[in-house]
Amino acid sequence: MSGTLTIDDQTIPFSDGQTIIEAARTAGVYIPHLCHRPGYTPHGSCKLCTVKVNGRTCSACTFPAAEGQKVVNNSEELQEARLRITQMLFVEGNHFCPTCEKSGNCELQAVGYHLNMLDNHFPHFYAHRKVDASHPDILIDHNRCIFCNLCVRASRESDGKDVFGIAGRGIHKRLIVNSPTGQLKDSNISVEDCAVQVCPTGAILVKRTGYKTPIGGRIYDQHPISTIACKKRETDAT
């Protein structure tokens, strides 16, 4: 089955089984998101993709596309809510872009630019979480984790492993490594794993590659996320 729906009055087609975000992406319409990645099981946790469908508030990454839906994506109200969510993510962890190796390749930073984020709005938490540098090739800076669950799903669904998990709730939420010591060096992760590549922030990094591409020449230095996210990315599962 297939049909059409409208997003901000633009008619777009969808095919059977597609969510609203996937139908939008296929048509080149960007709906901001962070925990969604094509091909991975939807998670619906970051709420950045919130849209209105026939007047109801829904997550576009989990809500199935259906005939005749009227979707509002680009309203002032929704962009304001997305801006607040993004600002919360920034203050809850340590996202200091000018000193982060991921700057210019970071989706959180790129979403901040898309939403014209000019300040943090909220007081900073100054997170004091661990850095796991135990693995010879991979580093985890837990202070930059936004708990999007993408590494958990990528490890399970693409790598056929189960390296990561998320434990705890609220401010006690944390990314855990499934290894006898809880350290990355004792897990079966490898540097080629999709779980290493998929992180939308600088939480999971490959060592000695941080400045391979100079700042200014990186993906979101060159193109807005609204363009990049509508194309196939290397870290998509499909």
Interacting residues toward ligand FES by CB under 6 A: 33-36, 44-49, 59, 61
CA distance 131 to 133: 6
Answer with the entry of ligand SF4, ligand FES, none that 71 interacts with (C-beta below 5 to 8 A by kind): none
Tokens 């693409």 appear where? 158
Q: 18 near 25, Cβ under 8 Å?
A: no
Whole-Å CA distances, 38 to 154, 159, 230, 232? 11, 16, 10, 9
Number of residues counted as binding ligand SF4 (CB under 6 A)? 14
Residues 43-82 that bind ligand SF4 (CB under 6 A): none
Among 7, 49, 194, 204, binds ligand SF4 (CB under 6 A): 204
Least gap, CB of 210 to ligand SF4 (angstroms): 15
**CA 162 to chain CA mean position, Å:** 19
Least gap, CB of 119 to ligand SF4 (angstroms): 22
Which residue, 19 or 187, has its beta carbon nearer to ligand FES?
19
CA distance 75 to 73: 6
Residue 236, token pair as written in the block = 């998509």
Nearest to 200 by CA among 112, 69, 121: 112
Q: What backbone torsions phi and psi does residue 139 show, to the nearest 5 degrees?
A: -125, 140
**CA 131 to chain CA mean position, Å:** 20
Answer with the entry of ligand SF4, ligand FES, none that 146 interacts with (C-beta below 5 to 8 A by kind): ligand SF4
Least gap, CB of 211 to ligand SF4 (angstroms): 20
Build a one-symbol-per-residue string for 171-200: x at contacts with ligand SF4 by CB under 6 A, - elsewhere: ----x----------------------xxx
Residue 114, token pair as written in the block = 């898309």
Least gap, CB of 214 to ligand FES (angstroms): 30
Residue ranges in contact with ligand SF4 by CB under 6 A: 145-151, 175, 198-201, 203-204
